[in-house]
Structure 1
Amino acid sequence: VVPENVPIGISVINITATDPDEGLGGEIKYEFLDEGEANGLFSIDPVSGEIKTRKDLTGRGRTDPYRLLLGATDGGGHSGDASLSIYIGDVSANDGVPRFIRPAAGEELSVSENATIGSPVFQVVASDPDDPTQPSGQLFYSIQQSNADAKSFAIDPHSGLITTRQTLDRERKDSYTLVLLVTDRGQPPQQSTKIVTVMITDVDDHKPHFGRNL
């Protein structure tokens, strides 16, 4: 199985054939007899039998293998060809980047200043074009710990639910800026970020008072 994102010139497999003859009659030359749909994608060393990639494998989402028919011929001129069919599967690499769906543009995140620790704030949602049954399509969420605001909130890595981690006071701070991350489990992993602002809503928690005694 060869991932579609391997560099050109990467070794795929070494094939070998044996011949009991000695001298010229026992020298074997390897070649492609039929490359099928893989025409030009691979090369074969006529002496060692090593098969390498010679072009970018761009069969995105391909599930059927490439079928190569190989020949091994001795140098005596009196031996027949030996053939072998091999199957090189070209599996889709992790080329789908996850993206945030919610919060959408203009959608506001807010929480009351008297919310207790662990109170829900917002559930973010992201999607990935890769197969969700594969690691490259499985997502987890996090908050980038890039500023002090991040310490006031937590996010469930699986559900995307943001909750409070500290008590909040609007009179002290009325908004928090968070950098959200969504990452898939592919190799290499793909990641997207989204900057959101959480507004702290006011609660009437102060009594009126006179500026001076009457």
Structure 2
Amino acid sequence: MQDTLKSSPPENKQMKAATANWIVLSTMFYMLCGVLGYAAFGNDAPGNFLTGFGFYDPFWLIDVANICIVVHLFGAYQVLAQPLFGFVENWRKEKWPQNKLVTKEFSLWGLDINMLRFVWRTGYVIVVTIIAMLFPFFNDFVGLLGAGTFWPLSVYFPIEMYISQAKIRKYSFTWIWMQILSLACLIASLVAAVGSTRGLITSVQSFKPFQSVS
């Protein structure tokens, strides 16, 4: 993202503004859905507000929402999967450096193709897709993954990096409030993980393969 930004104003200022706006907007959106949904429906709040009440009108709104989900997951899947792809491919190349199937690159229609990369990535996507279709607990799985990654990636490490970079003195007013914020977010993540786990357990009790339950 930074490499595609203009040189003026500086990239760090643009990224800081973009990140701040994204955090504010996403927090407002999720809090509105979660708080208002629970206030209106309690534990019966559906995982999908658009289709969770048994009707699918207007159809165009459902289509737009599904398109947005597809676009979002295309990018998110790449970001999350690339580190795993790279780790496995580098490990294979180090273990079998003389194997042409692992190391050889050839050109096809202007694209650089490697058989290991082609077979491994294609197979991974197919297997993960089948598993996702077989166990379609989308909301609970996403909630559990989000709870597991939110505190360390979005709170703990950024706070610790900022403290180190800004040389904030330990036990100072700013340091204490940052630790309080980190602790509060950790508790929220743990509560969310417990709720998602309970949702998974409940969904498994009425589980039917290849049928959506949430």
* TMscore range, shorter length: under 0.3
Q: Which has the higher helix share?
A: 2
After TM superposition, the score normalised by the length of structure 2 is 0.18
Q: Which has the higher strand share?
A: 1
Structure with max Cα Rg: 1
